[in-house]
């Protein structure tokens, strides 16, 4: 091949490469447009919620609807906390959710450790039972759980809200999978040093599974904060309501006062949003790892 | 004797560790599963003890209950619309975010926000977006492009409205799973395809899709299961002070909403337990069929 032939090939390569680059740039621009438009579609309902919550009543019913507020007011929030005890509902949710989350961290990691590292009679069968139970849809045990809680006299109380949710098959499973990866040598060394089993759990296992605990804590917090069906079924007095329950009642009773309902939605959404943004890393990793739906 | 005592001592710790969880597990899961199985063969209203009726509940549900079939059809429509739409759109988003672009984390966050918000909050927000007449944001948007307003929460549109909202709300979660799946595909496959001169579409069709099959199976099963159990959104969107959950003419009555209605508004606990077991059966079959279908297609 003579020198001109090679030059010609080089030229063609360069042309092909530059057209490829051109094509890639076009694709990239399209990707940005798609993602930005998509993000707007995701965000607009929340923006509309916040805007509506700060509008005075006469601006809500003006035409055309506008994202601009002429006279911003916190009247809706004031109503929310005075007409209904929203502060109390907030504390109800916060208390129940916090206790449930703490209990899950403790009980799930404890059981997960036993399943991962102990040898005891019936271990594998019990674990199989636990994993199998995750296939059972919640509707199946909803009615009997309600009847049992009623028999215990826990209807309409924090006991009923909290105790049935203090541990869970999924949490135990998650903990076990993480603890399995801890080398046995560490545990054996602690045993030789004369540690009791509980000390090993507290001093060796717990510090090593902190990322997993963080994921479990966030999942549990989010799921419980947003839990609706269980409170709907067992809570009947107005002062024991949780936030989602209060919001659904608000929607029923003050459905036409959109500013107030939207203010309620803001109060319900803000805490999970804060938790999510603060712990986003653990959350997204946790989902990718486990496929758990919050 | 001594080794036995030592063995027992070690096992004692183990049982103590799993104890609290297993007491809860027994009381609120194992016992309930058998209790509702038994109750599904009884008439039970909580006040009087359950009365055994054999298969009567199941026979009544399947052969004499038009509301059950209405609920099943609504649920089937809901699943058949939300699951494919959500999977297709979220896969598209995942592929877009997985490109070499900036602000990845911002985009992920935006798409994920509805997934962390309670469905109750999302539903009341959308109820306001769907508001009838000219004040609703959606109707205003429609009228500004010359389409006449839609009565979103009327009998004809309630179910489609809930479907649209659910697709929107479920994108972020599926997106995260797909991104994780995409990142698990070895880069060398794409490099090899590039050497062979494959186009972007060919790469997506022949590398990404087949290698994403396990993720796809998982997302499909989880989506069907959770869509089949839709309740919170239906409860809020169809709530009215006089009517039962499910809306006028049961236009958006889903199977779990029907279970709630029979169990907790009419206190037919036996009948509701039978419904629960039918739901269990359907979900079990769906899972098995899905796994069998895909087993044949996953090749590596």
DSSP-derived secondary structure for A11-28: HHHHHHHHHHHHHHHHHH
For chain B, say whether A34 makes contact (Cβ under 8 Å). yes
Instruction: Flag whether A59 is in a domain.
Output: no
User: How many whole angstroms separate alpha carbon A156 and alpha carbon B119?
Assistant: 22
User: How many whole angstroms separate alpha carbon B284 and alpha carbon B278?
Assistant: 10
Q: Which of A165-174, A179-188, B32-41, B128-137 is the least confident region?
A: B128-137
Are residue A34 and residue A121 in the same domain, yes or no? no
For helices A86-117 and A210-226, give the axis angle rounded to 10 degrees: 140
Nearest CA in chain B to A201: B17
Instruction: Flag whether A184 is in a domain.
Output: yes
Within a 13 Å sphere around the CA of B105, how many CA atoms are in the beta-carbon half?
Answer: 7
Confidence of residue B103 (pLDDT cuts 50, 70, 90): confident
- Shortest distance, CA A244 to any CA of chain B (angstroms): 6
Nearest CA in chain B to A45: B125
Interface of B with A in 106-165 (CB under 8 A): 106-129, 131, 134-137, 140, 144
User: How many whole angstroms separate alpha carbon A100 and alpha carbon A171?
Assistant: 12
Are residue A175 and residue A41 in the same domain, yes or no? no
Q: Which of A115-129, A278-292, B176-190, B248-262 is the least confident region?
A: A278-292
Are residue A198 and residue A271 in the same domain, yes or no? yes
Radius of gyration of chain A (CA): 27
**Contact B161/B153 with Cβ under 8 angstroms?**
yes
Are residue A166 and residue A270 in the same domain, yes or no? yes
Is the Cβ pair A139, B276 closer than 8 Å?
Answer: yes
pLDDT-above-90 percentage for chain A = 42
For chain B, say whether A207 makes contact (Cβ under 8 Å). no
For chain B, say whether A290 makes contact (Cβ under 8 Å). no
User: How many whole angstroms separate alpha carbon B59 and alpha carbon B61?
Assistant: 6
Instruction: Flag whether A222 is in a domain.
Output: yes
Q: What is chain A's mean pLDDT, rounded?
A: 87
For chain A, say whether B224 makes contact (Cβ under 8 Å). no
Are residue A79 and residue A193 in the same domain, yes or no? yes
Q: Which pLDDT score is estimated for A145?
A: 95
Q: Quote the ipTM score.
A: 0.87
Query: A45 is in which domain, residue-wise?
Result: 3-53
Confidence of residue A50 (pLDDT cuts 50, 70, 90): very high
Q: Provide the β-strand partners of residue B52.
A: B42
Task: Please give the domain boundaries of chain B with CATH numbers for all domains.
Answer: 2-39 (no CATH), 66-295 (1.10.3720.10)
Are residue A49 and residue A79 in the same domain, yes or no? no
DSSP letter at A45?
H
Instruction: Flag whether A58 is in a domain.
Output: no
The closest of B184, B177, B175, B174 to B210, measured between CA atoms, is B184
Instruction: Flag whether A161 is in a domain.
Output: yes
Instruction: Flag whether A216 is in a domain.
Output: yes
Are residue A146 and residue A42 in the same domain, yes or no? no
The region that residue B168 occupies, defined by phi over 0 for left and psi between -120 and 50 for alpha, beta otherwise, is: alpha
Beta strands in chain B (DSSP E): 42-43, 51-52
pLDDT tens digits, one per residue of A223-254 = 899 999 999 999 999 899 999 999 998 888 88
Is the Cβ pair B283, A264 closer than 8 Å?
Answer: no
Are residue A273 and residue A147 in the same domain, yes or no? yes
pLDDT tens digits, one per residue of A190-210 = 888 888 888 888 988 898 888
Are residue A12 and residue A94 in the same domain, yes or no? no
**Placement of tokens 């309670």 in the chain:** B118
Residue B197 has pLDDT above 60, yes or no: yes
**Placement of tokens 């545990």 in the chain:** A187
Are residue A82 and residue A197 in the same domain, yes or no? yes
Number of domains in chain A: 2
DSSP letter at B52?
E
Mean per-residue pLDDT, A269-293: 74
Are residue A175 and residue A266 in the same domain, yes or no? yes
Are residue A142 and residue A82 in the same domain, yes or no? yes
Residue A17 has pLDDT above 90, yes or no: no
Instruction: Flag whether A85 is in a domain.
Output: yes
CATH number for position A125: 1.10.3720.10
pLDDT tens digits, one per residue of A80-108 = 898 889 999 999 999 999 999 999 999 99
Nearest CB partner across the interface for A164, out of B28, B36, B137: B28
Confidence of residue A70 (pLDDT cuts 50, 70, 90): confident
């Amino acid at each position: 091949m003579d020198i001109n032939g090679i030059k010609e090939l080089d030229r063609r390569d360069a042309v092909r490469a530059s057209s490829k680059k051109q094509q890639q740039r076009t694709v990239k621009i399209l990707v940005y447009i798609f993602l930005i438009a998509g993000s707007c579609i995701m965000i607009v309902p929340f923006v509309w919620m916040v805007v509506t919550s700060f509008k005075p009543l006469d601006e809500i019913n003006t035409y055309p609807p506008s994202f601009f507020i002429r006279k911003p007011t916190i009247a809706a929030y004031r109503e929310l906390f005075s007409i209904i005890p929203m502060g109390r509902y907030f504390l109800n949710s916060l208390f129940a959710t916090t206790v449930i989350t703490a209990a899950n961290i403790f009980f799930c990691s404890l059981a997960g450790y036993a399943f991962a590292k102990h040898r005891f009679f019936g271990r594998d069968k019990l674990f199989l039972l636990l994993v199998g139970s995750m296939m059972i849809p919640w509707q199946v045990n909803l009615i009997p759980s309600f009847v049992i809680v009623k028999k215990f006299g826990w209807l309409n109380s924090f006991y009923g809200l909290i105790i049935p949710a203090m541990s869970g098959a999924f949490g135990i499973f998650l903990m076990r999978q993480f603890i399995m990866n801890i080398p046995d040598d560490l545990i054996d060394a602690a045993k030789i040093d004369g540690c009791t089993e509980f000390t090993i759990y507290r001093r060796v296992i717990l510090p090593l599974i902190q990322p997993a605990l963080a994921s479990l804590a966030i999942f549990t917090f989010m799921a419980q904060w947003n839990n609706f069906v269980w409170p709907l079924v067992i809570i009947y007095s107005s002062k024991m309501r949780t936030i989602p329950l209060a919001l659904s009642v608000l929607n029923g009773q003050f459905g036409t006062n959109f500013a107030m309902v939207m203010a309620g939605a803001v109060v319900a959404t803000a805490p999970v949003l804060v938790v999510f943004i603060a712990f986003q890393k653990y959350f997204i990793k946790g989902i990718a790892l486990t496929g758990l739906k919050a | 004797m001594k080794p036995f005592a030592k063995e027992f001592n070690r096992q004692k710790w183990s049982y103590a560790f799993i104890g609290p969880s297993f007491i809860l597990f027994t009381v609120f899961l194992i016992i309930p599963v058998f209790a509702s199985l038994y109750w599904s063969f009884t008439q039970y209203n909580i006040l009087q003890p359950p009365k055994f009726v054999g298969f009567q509940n199941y026979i009544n549900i399947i052969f004499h209950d038009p509301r059950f079939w209405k609920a099943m059809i609504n649920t089937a429509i809901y699943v058949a619309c939300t699951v494919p739409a959500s999977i297709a759109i979220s896969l598209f988003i995942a592929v877009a975010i997985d490109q070499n672009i900036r602000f990845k984390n911002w985009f992920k966050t935006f798409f994920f926000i509805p997934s962390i918000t309670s469905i109750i909050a999302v539903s009341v927000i959308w109820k306001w977006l769907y508001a009838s007449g000219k004040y609703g944001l959606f109707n205003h948007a429609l009228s500004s492009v010359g389409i006449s307003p839609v009565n979103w929460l009327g009998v004809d549109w309630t179910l489609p409205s809930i479907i649209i909202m659910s697709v929107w709300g479920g994108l972020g979660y599926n997106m995260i799973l797909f991104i994780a799946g995409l990142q698990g595909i070895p880069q060398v496959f794409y490099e090899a395809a590039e050497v062979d001169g494959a186009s972007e579409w060919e790469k997506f069709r022949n590398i990404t899709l087949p290698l994403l099959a396990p993720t796809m199976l998982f997302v499909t099963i989880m989506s069907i299961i959770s869509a089949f159990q839709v309740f919170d959104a239906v409860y809020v969107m169809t709530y009215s002070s006089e009517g039962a959950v499910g809306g006028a003419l049961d236009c958006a009555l889903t199977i779990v909403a029907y279970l709630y209605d029979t169990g907790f508004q009419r206190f037919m606990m036996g009948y509701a337990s039978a419904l629960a077991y039918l739901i269990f059966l359907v979900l079990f079959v769906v899972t098995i069929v899905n796994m069998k279908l895909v087993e044949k297609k996953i090749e590596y």
